[in-house]
Chains A and B, each alone.
Chain A
Amino acid sequence: DVKVTQSSRYLVKRTGEKVFLECVQDMDHENMFWYRQDPGLGLRLIYFSYDVKMKEKGDIPEGYSVSREKKERFSLILESASTNQTSMYLCASSQPPGQGAVYTFGSGTRLTVV
């Protein structure tokens, strides 16, 4: 069964902490994505990566960075966590269009910053 695995289901961090959210996929997908989901705002793209060491900003990259050192792993980093980053974070992967661009999501990480 193909999977996208997010390292934590629930996470509580303090304001100012550096936070790492990890995502691993076992489907050899080229593309990986980080979204956040907030009530009333839907899913918004933070960053995505279409190859190892390649990244592009999404719609709301401020306060976040990412790392993709290996094809299967895509990390989201909150450099200095703030309360307005309390949210549900969703990782996804896909192949490029033309190779079957179906998204597969992880189960999400619900982050609370106190």
Chain B
Amino acid sequence: GIQVEQSPPDLILQEGANSTLRCNFSDSVNNLQWFHQNPWGQLINLFYIPSGTKQNGRLSATTVATERYSLLYISSSQTTDSGVYFCAAPPRRGFQKLVFGTGTRLLVSP
């Protein structure tokens, strides 16, 4: 099945800084999603991005499917951005379940 790897595993930022999180996957995918898990455990879907670029406020994501990676950009980070960021993809094209990466733990300090 597909392997989903995320980097870096941990990231500490000062409030206001920008950051880039990376997700590499071992096979072609048609359903790549990014999630944010807050300190209370709630997972929120940030992007459904099988290819191309999407933006939502201070967050944006780009997936280059042919090169098997996706990037999540966080600009002007805030303390509320702290938590764990996961990317996830189906194990095979057309499958409906997702395989999750091990996550990037982000701490934004004031």
Contact = CB atoms under 8 A, between A and B. Distances in A.
Interface in A71-114: 88, 90, 92, 94, 96-97, 100-105, 107-108, 110
Interface stretch (A18-26, A41-49, A61-69): A41-49
Task: Specify the main secondary structure of chain B where it touches its partner.
Answer: loop
Interface string B26-48: 00001101010000111111001
Contacts of A50: 96
| Chain A residues touching B, range | 20 to 34
Contacts of B90: 97
B31 A97 contact: yes
B101 A42 contact: yes
A101 B48 contact: yes
16 contacts: A33-B97, A35-B100, A42-B86, A42-B100, A42-B103, A45-B98, A48-B97, A96-B96, A97-B31, A101-B48, A102-B33, A103-B35, A103-B98, A105-B42, A108-B41, A108-B42
Interface of A: 31, 33, 35, 37, 42-43, 45, 48, 50, 58, 88, 90, 92, 94, 96-97, 100-105, 107-108, 110
